[in-house]
Amino acid sequence: MVVAKHPLAALAGVEILKKGGNAVDAAVATHFALAVVEPFMTGIGGGGRCVIRFKNGTTFVMNFEPMAPGKEEPFEPDPKKEATAYGVGLGRPAVKGDANKYGYKAAAVPGFVKGLCFLAKKFGSMELSELLEAAIKYADEGFILDTYIAKAIAFDMGLIIKFPETARLLLKDGICPRPWGWSFGDFDRLIQKDLARTLRKIATEGADAYYQGTIAHAIAFDMAEHGGYITEDDLAAYRPEILKAGKGSYRSHSLIHFPVSTGILQILNILEGFDMKKLGYNTSTSVHLLIEAIKLAFSSRKFLGTGLDNRPFQGIVTKEYAETLRRRIDLEHAKSHIDLEAPENANEEFTTHACAVDVDRNIVGMHTSLGHTFGSKVTIKNTGIILNNKMHDYDPRPGTPNSVRPRRIKPPPSGSTIVLKRNEPWLVLGAPGGYKQVTAVARSIQNIIDYRMSIQEAIMSPRIYVQTGKVFIESRIPQTIVQTLVKMGHDVTVVDKEYNFGQPTGIFLDAKTGLLHGGVDRDLPHGLDAISLGY
């Protein structure tokens, strides 16, 4: 089975499985296809990260996020303006002119192609040219636009039109293209001929074409022409990071996760000390405990957001530390935890997630991203490559844990988690949404384990998110519960499902029947039914 956020991408992965490919082959094909059909979320100018469990029980975790160029101190802080994410202060100065958000300077060295080509070569069983067939077809022939993509283009049109190559790619006669279901006439297809040519070159020449060949030259030339920082030397120097998997447990289930996903494990560790099943699903007490657990997990964020070095992973994910946090919870009153900080990119990180399970039960969970929607809004001339804007992840001031360092890869939060039951594969789950993927994945896992929900029920259940003490609650939660939470002291804002709580995708492996069950958040994605596909 393959689960993705666009049906064409899921179909690309399943076709690879039908041809005899393994889960890694399918995941690579799916994400290359997503780079075409979800160009606002991901692309070959971005990067990603993955968690893999093989049938023999070994694990593999890789960070192939974009890398900072070799430029020393590339940005000038604006001391009069605080960096924000959707109105939430991040505790650091903004960059003058938002140069780390939009335009050529905002782009970091892409890792997408190097990461996926590495996976295909090391663990795949099929030729790269076969894995890219679907992506090339979707780019060359185009695909029908839906309202999800059209809305993303319309929302960013004010910035897109500032970059002629991107406007030429995404707009039709200078305006937003018409999606399927448009009531005033025909719909449009998104055709990306330049990207198709780039993908063909990668399919025949591998990652070297991108990082050392003609594509690298095109990227570096366009950067130099427009004041960007990426050079051919930077591209040639890119290497993905091989990491040690994070491990934990929840109520006798083992968890394997990307090591920066410690927030998921902390939330679950805290909740493990309560009988959540007995307290009931979406009762005032169980929701209160979930809110407090999320706040306490994010209060340890000062240990989490600084890269993979100098971080006390083992301490903050222990059951003992969870017990000390749990003691700070008052069962009847909300507490404002004094260490609570605003998670960076709490609302601004746009990603896509897909997972694959093959007949041998090899499992892959993978995120890829451009950063914000359409990344830096820059498209490299004649290549179709939309570049990321991952330089916005860094603190522009030197000497801080999050400062820009030449050729540093800073890992983002990642919700990709593989769950084992009695040491057998049981669940793979992940979600886009910045730090909201942490709460979305933790909540979905808890729903499945504590409340015996199906994966689709768990993913579609009403959501909760806490950000600097303000609690966002989905309107499907009963008003009586909301009123009780307010009386307990919670600062509650009720929102509808259009608020992005994270959009999980996952696969449940039923050991009794041998069946695979897919789950996907159907409210915000592309509105088409065939998103979870198996055979």
Residue 151 inside a domain? The answer is yes
Residue 193 inside a domain? The answer is yes
pLDDT of res. 178? 85
Q: Is the pTM of this model over 0.75?
A: yes
Residues 184, 248 share a domain: no
Residues 435, 304 share a domain: yes
Residues 495, 444 share a domain: yes
Q: Assess whether pLDDT exceeds 90 at residue 534.
A: no
Percent of the chain with pLDDT over 70: 88
Query: Which of 361, 393, 425 is at the close of a domain?
Result: 393
Give the mean pLDDT of 487-497: 90
pLDDT digits (tens, 9 = 90+) for 146-193: 888 888 999 999 999 999 999 999 998 888 888 876 655 677 899 999
CATH number of the domain that residue 463 is part of = 3.60.20.40
Query: Which of 358, 393, 428 is at the close of a domain?
Result: 393
Give the mean pLDDT of 490-515: 88
For residue 471, give its domain range: 243-346+414-533
Catalytic residues: 351
Residue 156 inside a domain? The answer is yes
pLDDT of res. 312? 45
Side chain identity at 51, as an amino acid letter?
V
Q: CB-side exposure of 524: number of CA atoms within 13 Å?
A: 20
Residues 251, 151 share a domain: no
Residues 272, 256 share a domain: yes
For 6-134, strand residue ranges (E) read 47-53, 59-64, 77-85, 88-95
Residues 110, 68 share a domain: yes
Give the mean pLDDT of 348-371: 91
pLDDT digits (tens, 9 = 90+) for 288-331: 999 999 998 887 654 444 444 444 455 677 899 899 889 999 99
Residues 174, 101 share a domain: yes
Residues 489, 473 share a domain: yes
Q: What does pLDDT average to over the chain?
A: 88
Residues 253, 307 share a domain: yes
Which has more confidence, 393 or 332?
332
Residues 475, 382 share a domain: no
Residue 356 inside a domain? The answer is no
Query: Which of 393, 428, 459 is at the close of a domain?
Result: 393
Q: What is the 3-state composition of the chain as percent helix, strand, coil, each rounded to the nearest 5?
A: 35, 20, 40
Output the DSSP codes for 166-208: HHHHH-BTTBPPPPTT-TTS---EE--HHHHHHHHHHHHHTHH
CA distance 36 to 139: 6
pLDDT of res. 341? 46
Residue 168 inside a domain? The answer is yes
Residue 6 inside a domain? The answer is no
pLDDT digits (tens, 9 = 90+) for 88-111: 566 778 899 999 999 999 999 999
Residue 224 inside a domain? The answer is yes
Residues 275, 224 share a domain: no
Residue 409 inside a domain? The answer is no
Residues 454, 322 share a domain: yes
What's the domain count of the chain?
2
CA distance 23 to 16: 9
